């Protein structure tokens, strides 16, 4: 072995011993005749001291740089200036021999600087992963998976791997497709989950199965999601809901006990889907704080405030939340905008003072209604009621649910030391999809309906409840499952409800339907999002912080540069033809910014085609928009950048450019010289070998925002940083 000990192992009891350590140079401190450096590995840090009594060794040590890989031999001695922050802080190594195993170049990022951008960290992930705090996350993740494997081994489960090259099915999220070279024109699908395979395993007689498995979904941009994620997958035969739930409670209890040294109380509380939505406005409620939704429909139905009374007449509902009043007018405006984002038409606020309610709509409420509201909501002096009314009940619940969570954060009601588990049960079996004009499965088409609700399937399927259950922790769904259908006749009825034709069902699920014919046992299971579970356990902000090599929000790996183009020979082998060439401007801009460690914010949104649309969907000001226009002159093409709120004075621009002819390039010309459509053009003339001019009015904006190569990607950054990268000529051509 090259080392006798790790860098976090040595203590006072080792004083006097000869040791050998290997690791990375963490920092170097040179005091002239004495040199100190810390050697680091994943176990910790140890201080090494070199004095000038050995001139050759001392000279060699002076060549050290941060992150050089070294091997040190020496004797352990007691440290005079002890460092209580380090486990090895009582000792140091008097260096007798130093071997530089590998020299490190100057680092492209400051690994330990909190100002280093996320994009830079992801591009140089191998450096970022050296951070002890990040390494501790993955050590904890390992502990969690070990507890899981030990638990299932003790409970007689079998770990069985299922295929990665599977069949594409229409139900669920979008599949990642893999073209087959051997079978031209045919495709495999990467699995979104092992759902069908684990049901097949139950039919095969493996009554207890589990697997820690990678799953993949080609989803549109969503916050805190990854295209590939890790799932703990479980299936059991001859079980009912309580059997699955009770065993999973024991699993989670064991994880918390072994990893966090905390006791979790079981059984977990249980709420039906309807109770959760009515009380918390969401099917994954955070129960660490109160602020429950209160239905006041019957109280306000006869008030003179038409927003409420007309809603009730149209069979709608009115609900409210009672909170401590610590909100300014500006705060309430922000909360109103939040409610609107979730479908509400507005937000009504009533403050409670020592003289009673105070509101600009109070005149529409009789004294009696005010008294009933105060009694029902139990609002006290210094409190405030927030109301939402709508004829769609789910809009009221969803908007107030989002508001409740925001209030909990702003009022600092959430105890981060608590872990509140609960089960949500009795989900709807199906819901109506307005776009497809048919019922779709809320979970998946193999979920069994409750026995007492089967009669609803033919005429009122939306009334049927599923034998489904989710386990929720602190407002996150960490696991979900159901009892499956094992009766082929019932499965056919469900396909009929979902309007999946027999031929299509046979093409997509024929192997499962056939298997059902030959003795399928009653079975059920659950799947946990392992990434989410570890994120909560380690207290990280996002699931990408617990994934060694995560993708960006744009589903890219900045480190390896994937997805990437492939050569024509590979495409020919797969019989694939790319319809149009594509210039990846978005990534070119990103790489420029990452290279200079410039902070920026990405927006991924639905297509926008006007500056006004873009400002609205991004939540930015119109004048912050940096509009890039391409003009054709006698000297060639140029790029002109101006605020989206301004217009160009063509005569001024001609004088500035000293040209007689000036013409705005048309869509075909823009496409030819940039590969982009008008409106998607970013203000980066340097990417297209064009001189860029910017109107001086844009300088007044601290931050600018622009479409970055497409109508669905935008970037916001500081104006000064943009100017530094693009180096435009600043002029005044605003008309």
DSSP string of 463-504, one letter each residue:
GPBBSEEEEEETTEEEEEEEEBP--HHHHHHHHHHTT--HHH
pLDDT at 151 over 80: yes
Note the helical H segments in 50-108. Answer: 55-61
CB within 8 Å of 156: residues ≥ 6 apart: 208
Q: In this predicted model, which residue has the larger pLDDT, 486 or 605?
A: 486
User: Would residue 477 count as lying in a domain?
Assistant: yes
Token pair belonging to 236:
């059991």
Q: What is the CATH number of the domain that holds 407?
A: 3.30.1360.30
User: Do residues 263 and 242 share a domain?
Assistant: yes
Are 688 and 542 within one domain? no
Distance CA 433, CA 384 (A): 37
Residue at which a domain ends, from 380, 414, 448 = 414
Residue 592: its pLDDT value, please? 87
Supply the CATH number for residue 698's domain: 3.90.960.10
State the average pLDDT over residues 691-719: 91
Same domain assignment for residues 395 and 431:
no
* Nearest-angstrom CA–CA distance, 534 and 550: 14
Q: For residue 223, what pLDDT band results from cuts at 50, 70 and 90?
A: low
pLDDT at 697: 84
Three-state SS for 544? helix
Looking at the structure, do residues 592 and 543 belong to the same domain, yes or no? no
The mean pLDDT value for 628-639 works out to 88
Q: What is the DSSP letter of 608?
A: -
Bridge partners, 641 (sequence order)? 628, 694
Tell me the mean pLDDT in the region 517-538. Answer: 96
Q: How many CA atoms lie within 13 A of 76 on its CB side?
A: 21
Asked whether residue 1 is assigned to any structural domain, the reply reads no
Domain end point (choices 102, 129, 148):
102
**How far, in Å, CA of 537 to CA of 540, rounded?**
8
Whether 218 contacts 168, CB under 8 Å = no
Q: How open is the CA angle 559-68-111, to the nearest 5 degrees?
A: 45
* Phi and psi, residue 368, nearest 5°: -65, -45
Least confident piece of the model among 109-118, 230-239, 652-661, 688-697: 652-661
pLDDT band at 291 (very low <50, low <70, confident <90, very high): very high
Which of the 8 DSSP states describes residue 440? E
Report the mean per-residue pLDDT for the chain: 92
CA dihedral 279, 280, 285, 286 (to 10 degrees): -110
Question: What is the 8-class DSSP label of residue 447?
Answer: B
Residue 572 maps to a domain: no
Please report the DSSP string for 674-732 in residue order: HS--TT---S-GGGGT-EEEEEGGGGG-SEEEEE-SSSSEEEEEEHHHHHHHH-PEEE-
If you average pLDDT over residues 630-656, what whole number do you get? 87
Say whether both 454 and 546 belong to one domain: yes
Beta-bridged to residue 235, according to DSSP, are: 209, 525
* pLDDT band, residue 269 (cuts 50/70/90): very high
* Residue 222, pLDDT score: 66
Residue 130: give the domain boundaries: 108-163+191-288+418-562
169-173, 278-282, 451-455, 525-529: range with lowest mean pLDDT: 169-173
Mean pLDDT of 407-419: 95
Distance CA 710, CA 676 (A): 7
When pLDDT is cut at 50, 70 and 90, the band that residue 84 belongs to is very high
Q: Which residues contact 118 (CB under 8 A, 6 or more apart)?
A: none
Q: Which residues pair with 691 in a beta bridge?
A: 638
Please give the average per-residue pLDDT across 94-100, as a whole number: 96
**What average pLDDT score do residues 169-183 get?**
86
Q: Is the dihedral of CA 122, 126, 127, 130 positive or negative?
A: positive
pLDDT of residue 731: 80
Is residue 554's pLDDT more than 70?
A: yes
pLDDT of 579 strictly over 90? no
Q: Report the number of distinct structural domains present in the chain.
A: 4
| 196 and 275, same domain (yes or no) | yes
- Which CATH number is 470's domain given? 3.30.930.10
Q: Is residue 181 part of a domain?
A: no
Q: How many CB atoms lie within 10 A of CB 557?
A: 16
Q: Tokens in use for 137?
A: 């996350």
| All residues at 6 or more sequence positions from 255 whose CB lies less than 8 Å from its CB, including other chains | 144, 147, 148, 533, 537
Q: What is the mean pLDDT of residues 363-368?
A: 94
Q: Is 274 a residue whose pLDDT tops 80?
A: yes
pLDDT of amino acid 221:
62
Over 60: is that where the pLDDT of 581 sits? no
Tell me whether residue 2 is in a domain: no
Report the C-alpha gap between 408 and 292 in whole angstroms.
Answer: 11
Which of these ranges, 411-420, 515-524, 571-580, 581-590, has the smallest mean pLDDT?
A: 581-590
Taking CA atoms, 232 is separated from 149, 302, 734, in Å, by 10, 52, 59
Q: Which residues face 187 on adjacent strands?
A: 179
Q: Name the residue with tokens 């006097």.
A: 16
Q: Residue 182 domain-assigned?
A: no
What's the average model confidence in pLDDT over 152-165?
Answer: 97
> Is residue 424 located within the same domain as residue 509?
yes
Question: Does residue 179 form part of some domain?
Answer: no
User: pLDDT at position 518, please?
Assistant: 93
Q: Within this chain, do residues 280 and 296 fall inside the same structural domain, yes or no?
A: no
Instruction: Look at residue 196 and tell me whether its pLDDT is greater than 80.
Output: yes
Check residue 61 and give its pLDDT: 95
Distance of CA 69 to the CA centre of its chain: 35
Asked if residue 575 belongs to a domain, the reply is: no
Of 39, 36, 35, the closest CA to residue 8 belongs to 39
CATH number of domain containing 98: 2.40.50.140
Q: Are residues 342 and 478 in the same domain?
A: no
Contact 195/446 with Cβ under 8 angstroms? yes
CB atoms within 10 A of CB 499: 12
- On whether both 302 and 327 belong to a single domain, the answer is yes
Q: How confident is the model at residue 146 (pLDDT cuts 50, 70, 90)?
A: very high
Mean pLDDT, range 3-15, rounded to an integer:
96
Q: Domain check: are 484 and 372 in the same one?
A: no
Q: Is the model's pLDDT at 370 over the cut of 60?
A: yes
The lowest-confidence range among 147-156, 270-279, 385-394, 614-623 is 614-623
Q: How far is CA 575 from the centre of its chain?
A: 35
Q: What pLDDT, on the 0 to 100 scale, is given for residue 171?
A: 62
pLDDT at 647: 85
Query: Do 405 and 530 reside in the same domain of the chain?
Result: no
């Amino acid at each position: 072995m090259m080392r006798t000990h790790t860098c976090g192992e040595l203590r006072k009891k080792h004083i006097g011993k000869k040791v050998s350590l290997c690791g990375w140079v963490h920092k170097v401190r040179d005091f002239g005749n004495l040199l100190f450096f810390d050697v680091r590995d994943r176990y910790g840090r140890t201080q090494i001291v070199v004095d000038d009594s050995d001139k050759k060794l001392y000279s060699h040590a002076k060549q050290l740089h941060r992150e050089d890989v070294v091997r040190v031999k020496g004797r352990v001695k007691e440290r005079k200036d002890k460092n209580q922050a380090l486990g090895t802080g009582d000792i140091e190594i008097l260096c007798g021999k130093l071997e530089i195993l590998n020299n490190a170049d100057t680092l492209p990022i400051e690994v330990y600087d909190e100002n280093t951008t996320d994009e830079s960290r992801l591009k140089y992930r191998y450096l970022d992963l050296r951070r002890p705090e990040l390494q501790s996350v993955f050590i904890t993740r390992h502990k969690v998976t070990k507890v899981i494997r030990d638990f299932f081994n003790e409970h007689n489960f079998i770990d069985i791997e299922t295929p990665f090259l599977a069949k594409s099915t229409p139900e669920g999220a979008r599949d990642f497709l893999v073209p087959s070279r051997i079978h031209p024109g045919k495709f495999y699908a990467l699995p979104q989950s092992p759902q069908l395979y684990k049901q097949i395993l139950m039919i095969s007689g493996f009554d207890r199965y589990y697997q820690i498995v990678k799953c993949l979904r080609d989803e549109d941009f969503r916050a805190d999601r990854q295209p590939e994620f890790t799932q703990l997958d479980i299936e059991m035969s001859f079980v009912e809901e309580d059997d699955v739930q009770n065993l999973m409670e024991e699993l989670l209890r064991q994880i918390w006990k072994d990893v966090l040294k905390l006791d979790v109380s079981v059984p977990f509380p249980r709420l039906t889907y309807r109770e959760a939505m009515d009380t918390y406005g969401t099917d994954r409620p955070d129960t660490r704080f109160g602020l429950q939704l209160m239905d006041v429909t019957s109280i306000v139905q006869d008030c003179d405030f038409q927003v409420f009374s007309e809603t009730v007449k149209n069979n709608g509902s009115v609900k409210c939340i009672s909170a401590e009043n610590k909100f300014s007018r500006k705060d309430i405006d922000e909360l109103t905008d939040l409610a609107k984002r979730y479908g509400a038409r507005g937000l009504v606020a009533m403050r409670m003072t020592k003289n009673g309610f105070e509101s600009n709509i109070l005149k529409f409420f009789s004294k009696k209604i005010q008294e009933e509201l105060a009694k029902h909501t139990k609002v006290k002096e210094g409190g405030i009621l927030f109301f939402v009314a709508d004829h769609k009940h789910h809009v009221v619940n969803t908007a107030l649910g989002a508001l409740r969570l925001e209030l909990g954060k702003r009022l600092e009601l959430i105890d981060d030391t608590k872990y509140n588990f609960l089960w949500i049960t009795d989900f709807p079996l199906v819901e109506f999809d307005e776009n497809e004009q048919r019922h779709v499965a809320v979970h998946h088409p193999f979920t069994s309906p409750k026995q007492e609700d089967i009669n609803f399937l033919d005429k009122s399927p939306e009334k049927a409840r599923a034998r489904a259950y989710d386990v929720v922790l602190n407002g996150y769904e960490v696991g979900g499952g159901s009892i499956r259908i094992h009766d082929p006749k019932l499965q056919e009825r469900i396909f009929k409800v979902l309007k999946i034709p027999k031929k299509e069902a046979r093409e997509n699920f024929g192997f499962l339907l056939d298997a059902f014919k030959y003795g399928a046992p009653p079975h059920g299971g659950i799947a946990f999002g392992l990434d989410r579970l570890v994120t909560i356990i380690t207290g990280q902000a996002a699931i990408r912080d617990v994934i060694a090599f995560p993708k960006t929000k744009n589903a890219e790996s900045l480190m390896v540069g994937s997805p990437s183009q492939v050569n024509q020979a590979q495409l020919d082998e797969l019989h694939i033809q790319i319809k149009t060439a594509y210039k990846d401007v978005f990534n070119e801009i990103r790489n420029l910014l990452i290279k200079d460690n410039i902070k920026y914010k990405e927006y991924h949104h639905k297509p926008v085609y006007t500056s006004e649309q873009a400002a609205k969907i991004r939540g930015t000001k119109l004048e912050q928009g940096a509009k890039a226009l391409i003009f054709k002159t006698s000297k060639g093409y140029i790029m002109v950048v101006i605020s989206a709120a301004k217009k160009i004075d063509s005569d001024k621009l001609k004088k500035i450019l000293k040209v007689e002819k000036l013409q705005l390039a048309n869509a075909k010309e823009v496409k030819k010289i940039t590969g982009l459509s008008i409106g998607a053009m970013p203000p980066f003339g340097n990417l297209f070998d064009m001189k860029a001019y910017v109107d001086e009015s844009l300088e007044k904006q601290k931050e600018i925002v622009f479409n970055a190569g497409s109508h669905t990607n935008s970037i916001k950054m500081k104006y000064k940083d943009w100017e530094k990268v693009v180096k435009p000529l600043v002029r005044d051509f605003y008309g």
